[in-house]
Structures are given as C-alpha cells and as structure tokens.
C-alpha cells in the first residue's frame, strides 16, 4: 500500500467516523451535542484537507513507527481499527470508559517501542479525565454513560 493510498483510506475512515459522531449527537441534549459536533466537524474538515492535499500530490508522509513498510501499514490499519472500535464502544460503555480505553489503545499502538510510551499514554489518559471532568462537573454537560449508567 502506497502512502497516497494510506492517506486516502485514512481520510475516508475519518470522514465516516466524524459523520457517525455528528449524527449520533442528535440524541444528546441540546448543550451536550455541541462538543461532539464540534469535534466531528474538526475531524471531518481535517480528513477532507488530508484527502485534497493527497490528491493534489502534497499529502503528508506519515510514519507512525520505524520498521518495514508492511509493519507500518499494519500499525496504521490497526490504529484506524482502534478509532472505529472506540467510536462503536461509546454508546455501549459511555464516553468516559470508551475514551479511556480507546485513547490508551491508540497511544499504545502509536508509540509502541518508542521511549516514553508509558508516559505518553498516562498524559493521554489524564487529558481525557480532565476534559471529562471539566465538561461533566464544571460545565454540567452530561455525556453518554452507555449501558452501565
């Protein structure tokens, strides 16, 4: 798989995920739907920019890890799969649990073998917790709690 193909496939997956996030927010309360829709818009616009730049021949060369091309392709495919799984897990497990698991898995995939992998995952988990507490406790924006709530 070439870098161009990988960029276009990544853009397609990200557009699909952002559309799913945007449409799923329709079931939330009015203030609760603002945050996922803004995130969905940012991800969707970024994916479209990635696709356009790639089609024009200026797409980025993304290297998630060292290794041969097969290993890099497997890693980027696994990362996209983890993103889709995280998105599917939100309605079942709730935003907090799904995000903690999803971010940890995506961090482990992205930083596997790099110095500071554990630290990067801890920072990501603390960031998820901080955003959740900010919106849930301070701004009183309820998030989906899934089947366990």
Domain identity same for 77 and 95 = yes
| Angle at which helices 95-111 and 69-93 cross, to 10° | 170
pLDDT digits (tens, 9 = 90+) for 48-102: 999 999 999 887 765 545 556 667 677 777 888 888 888 888 888 888 888 888 8
Q: The domain containing residue 47 runs over which residues?
A: 1-62
Predicted local confidence at residue 103, as pLDDT: 85
pTM for the structure as a whole:
0.60
Domain identity same for 77 and 132 = yes
Predicted local confidence at residue 66, as pLDDT: 57
93, 101 in Cβ contact below 8 A? Answer: yes
Predicted local confidence at residue 15, as pLDDT: 94
Domain identity same for 19 and 50 = yes
Predicted local confidence at residue 149, as pLDDT: 62
Burial class (CB in 10 A: 0-12, 13-18, 19+), 113: exposed
């Amino acid at each position: 798989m070439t870098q161009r193909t990988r960029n276009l496939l990544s853009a397609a997956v990200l557009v699909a995920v952002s559309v799913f996030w945007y449409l799923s927010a329709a079931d939330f309360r009015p203030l609760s739907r603002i945050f996922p829709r803004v995130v969905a818009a940012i991800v969707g616009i970024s994916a479209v920019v990635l696709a356009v730049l790639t089609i024009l021949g200026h797409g980025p060369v993304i290297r998630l890890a060292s290794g041969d091309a097969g290993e890099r392709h497997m890693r980027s495919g696994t990362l996209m799969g983890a993103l889709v799984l995280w998105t599917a897990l939100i309605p079942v497990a709730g935003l907090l649990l799904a995000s903690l698991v999803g971010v940890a898995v995506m961090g482990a995939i992205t930083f596997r073998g790099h110095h500071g992998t554990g630290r990067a995952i801890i920072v990501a988990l603390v960031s998820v917790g901080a955003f959740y507490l900010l919106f849930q406790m301070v701004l009183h924006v309820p998030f989906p709690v899934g089947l366990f709530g």
